Amino acid sequence: MPHNERLEFLGDALVNLVVAEALHARWPKADEGTLTRARASLVRESALADLARRLELGERLELGPGELKSGGHRRDSILADAVEAIVAAIHLDAGFEACRAVVLPWFEPLIADLPAGKADKDPKTRLQEWLQGRQLPRPTYHLLETRGNDHARIFLVRCETTDPVHSEQAEAASLRAAEQLAAERLLAILEKK
C-alpha cells in the first residue's frame, strides 16, 4: 500500500498557508504572535482530526490489516494526515485557487469562533510564563518512551519543575502534543496551589 507522506508534507504547508492568509485578512491589527498562536490552534493534529471526522474520512481510508484491527481509522494522527494528503491532492489536480476554495470553508467557522484578534497561548508557553513570573526555573521535558509503527507513533513525555518540585506525564501521537499536554497538566496543579 503506498504511503502519502509526500502529499502530507505538501498538504501541511497548504493548510497553514490558507489559514494564515485568512487570519491575516480577518485580523488586520493582530500581531505576529497572536496570528501564529491562532493558526497553530486551528491546524494542530487534533483540530485536523476533528475536521476529518466532520468530513467522515475515517471510514473511507484504506488501511493495512494492523491499522484496521487497532482502530487506525479513528486515530488523530492518521485522520490529520489524511486531511493534509487530500488538500495536497486537490492542489496538484486543480491548482491553488481551487484548493483554497475547498479548504477555506472548512476553517471559516473555526476562525469565526476564535475571539477576534486573540488566541490563547499554548500550555508550554503559559507554564513557562507562570514560572518566570515567579522567578522560578524553567520546566524540563523528558521523552520517556516511543512506541508504535513509524506512521502511528505514540510518545510518552514527562514535564517537570524543580522549584516547586512537580512532574506530570502525558502521551500523544506527536512529541509536541505530548509535551503540551504534560505542561497543561502540570500548570493546572501549580495554579491550584
**CA-CA distance, 157 to 143, in Å (whole number)?**
5
DSSP class of residue 28 equals T
Question: Among this protein's residues, is 163 annotated catalytic?
Answer: no
In the set 8, 12, 122, 168, the catalytic residue is 12
In the set 8, 45, 67, 84, the catalytic residue is 84
Question: Among this protein's residues, is 84 annotated catalytic?
Answer: yes
Strands in 72-129 per DSSP E: none
**CA-CA distance, 141 to 172, in Å (whole number)?**
14
**CA-CA distance, 160 to 74, in Å (whole number)?**
31
CB 148 within 8 Å of CB 154: yes
**CA-CA distance, 7 to 40, in Å (whole number)?**
20
For residue 169 the three cell numbers come to 506525564
Catalytic residues: 12, 84
